[in-house]
Structure 1
Amino acid sequence: MESRVRLIGIDKEQNLNADHDPVMSNALMAVLKRAQTHQLIWISHHSTMELKGVRRTTWEIH
């Protein structure tokens, strides 16, 4: 049975209330890429879109 996780990161520097840390996002992406390299996971989709100054990145992880 296959499981799929959708991970969404939101980046908006102007929003001081956002609990988003760009350094954490970079570290998380590094971990995901390393796990994919070792074939522990498979990232089937990665997209980034920006709307009104908010950048949203979505990964689909299997």
Structure 2
Amino acid sequence: MEAEGKAWGRPSRPSDADRGRIAAMKQMGRSIRAIAVALKVPRSTVARALAAGPESAVA
């Protein structure tokens, strides 16, 4: 797989689309907890996505 240039290993979570939704919801003023409940993911996942910065949000 690696020789073919494909990604391997555990899939990233959240997906690129979810990262975009997280960033948009945060800009609307929603809390990390509210975003986590809406997307049904742990708060730590939301916090990690926001800490990664806007360059990782591709949506």
The bucket for the TM-score relative to the shorter chain is 0.3 to 0.5
Instruction: Point out the structure with the larger helix share.
Output: 2
TM-score (norm: length of structure 1)? 0.32
Instruction: Point out the structure with the larger strand share.
Output: 1
Flag the structure with more relative contact order, 1 or 2, with Cα contacts below 8 A and sequence separation at least 6.
Answer: 1
TM-score (norm: length of structure 2)? 0.33
